[in-house]
């Protein structure tokens, strides 16, 4: 189906940018930079190394399979928009529209997904916007989308599963949410598919990206390419270092939560309860039928004030023997039970 130039009437003038970087912290910082520092409308494309990106209002630890993520070197990041957790890798394409808009018309998912939908329809793909503002290919989810408003500008961004590693994605997001009690936004899992599997003419992810970019350049009046300059890179990297790569943003920003887990070990079982605020353990309660030569409350006090992070807790426990408080339990047994 042919489209006249500008037929989807998104905006009339736009910078089209392809990120040269596959670092999720850099690319998420880029979105905030173009949203807050630019007056022009922007269309941004990027791909990331394997990573999990949680929504602004989510409890990170409740959304990820932490042992798998750490063992496989998967980056954990938080974005500035709401919504659920998504998996990125180099087979996943991410897009962002950043635009000025009128009050009351800032968040318009149909408007901002229309060019992506039309570009894919031109490739012969039956794509539509779903009830939760996701993109569906036939009845499979291929994209999650979210928005963030800053003054009279809006960031609307989404993912496009093109040739992502579904096994890694599934394992990274396999969680036990019953361990956490909080008011954080919860992700809704959906049946997903890779776009590449539905294309008659096979292409790699870069060719797919270029086809969508070219469609936008060809159908929008005033659309033109733009490359990061030295000032852009300096400011984006500053945001990356001070915010997007920090533990305080990616984990500490999580809403307060309670953590509960029953932990079996070779001589018994304990029930562990923790209250965590801004990622810092405020209260620990350990109960169970166990023996110890030292008061269990002293062990609980050692853990209070520690950030809920495996390596930090391991260091905090390095000077003591958990077995002195819970006979038969090693330090690593307790540590594994806290996640």
258-298 pLDDT per residue, tens: 999 999 888 889 999 999 999 999 999 999 988 899 999 99
**Gyration radius of the chain over CA positions:** 23
DSSP state of 124: T
**Quick one: pLDDT band at residue 10, thresholds 50, 70, 90?**
very low
Q: Report the predicted TM-score, pTM, of the whole model to 2 decimal places.
A: 0.89
Kindly state the percentage of the chain with pLDDT values over 90.
78
Backbone angles phi, psi at 96, to 5 degrees: -145, 130
Q: Which domains does the chain have, with CATH numbers?
A: 14-252 (3.30.930.10), 257-337 (3.30.390.50)
pLDDT of residue 74: 98
Assess whether pLDDT exceeds 70 at residue 57: yes
93: left (phi over 0), alpha (psi -120 to 50) or beta: beta
Residue bearing the bigger pLDDT, 90 or 184: 90
Which residue's structure tokens are 């353990």?
A: 281
Question: Between β-strands 92-100 and 153-161, what pairing exists: parallel, antiparallel or unpaired?
Answer: antiparallel
**Quick one: pLDDT band at residue 11, thresholds 50, 70, 90?**
low
Task: Give the max Cα distance, the chain.
Answer: 80
DSSP per-residue letters across 44-105: EEE--SSEEEE-TTS-HHHHS-HHHHHHTT-EEEE-SS-S--EEE-TTEEEEEEEEE--TT-
CA 134, CA 158: separation in Å to the nearest integer?
Answer: 9
pLDDT of residue 4: 39
Assess whether pLDDT exceeds 80 at residue 8: no
Q: Show Cβ contacts of residue 17 under 8 Å, excluding neighbours closer than 6 positions.
A: 34, 42, 43, 44, 45, 225, 226, 227, 228
């Amino acid at each position: 189906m042919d489209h006249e130039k500008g037929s989807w009437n998104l905006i009339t003038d736009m910078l089209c940018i392809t990120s040269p970087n596959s670092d999720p912290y850099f690319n998420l910082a880029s979105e905030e930079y173009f949203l807050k520092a630019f007056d022009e409308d922007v269309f941004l494309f990027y791909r990331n190394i394997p990573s999990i990106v949680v929504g602004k209002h989510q409890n990170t630890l409740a959304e990820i399979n932490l042992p798998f993520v750490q063992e496989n070197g998967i980056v954990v990041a938080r974005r500035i928009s709401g919504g659920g957790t998504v998996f990125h890798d180099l087979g996943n394409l991410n897009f962002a529209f950043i635009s000025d808009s009128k009050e009351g018309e800032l968040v318009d998912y149909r408007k901002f997904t229309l060019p992506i939908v039309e570009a894919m329809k031109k490739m012969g793909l039956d794509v539509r916007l779903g009830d939760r503002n996701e993109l569906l290919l036939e009845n499979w989810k291929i994209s999650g989308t979210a928005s963030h408003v800053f003054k009279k500008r809006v960031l609307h961004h989404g993912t496009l599963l093109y040739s992502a590693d579904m096994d890694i994605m599934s394992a990274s997001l396999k969680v036990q949410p019953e361990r956490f009690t909080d008011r954080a936004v919860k992700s809704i899992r959906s049946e997903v598919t890779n776009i590449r599997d539905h294309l008659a003419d096979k292409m790699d992810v870069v060719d797919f990206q270029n086809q969508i970019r070219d469609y936008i350049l060809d159908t929008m009046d005033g659309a033109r390419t733009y490359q990061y300059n030295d000032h852009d890179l300096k400011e984006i990297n500053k945001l990356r270092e001070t915010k997007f790569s920090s533990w305080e943003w990616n984990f500490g920003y999580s809403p307060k939560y309670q953590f509960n887990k029953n932990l079996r070990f070779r001589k018994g079982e304990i029930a562990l309860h923790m209250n965590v605020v801004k990622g810092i353990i405020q209260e620990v309660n350990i109960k169970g039928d166990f023996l110890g030569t030292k008061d269990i409350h002293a062990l609980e006090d050692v853990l209070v004030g520690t950030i809920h992070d495996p390596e930090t807790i391991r260091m905090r426990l390095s000077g003591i023997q958990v077995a002195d408080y819970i006979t038969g339990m090693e330090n690593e047994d307790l540590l594994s039970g806290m996640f």
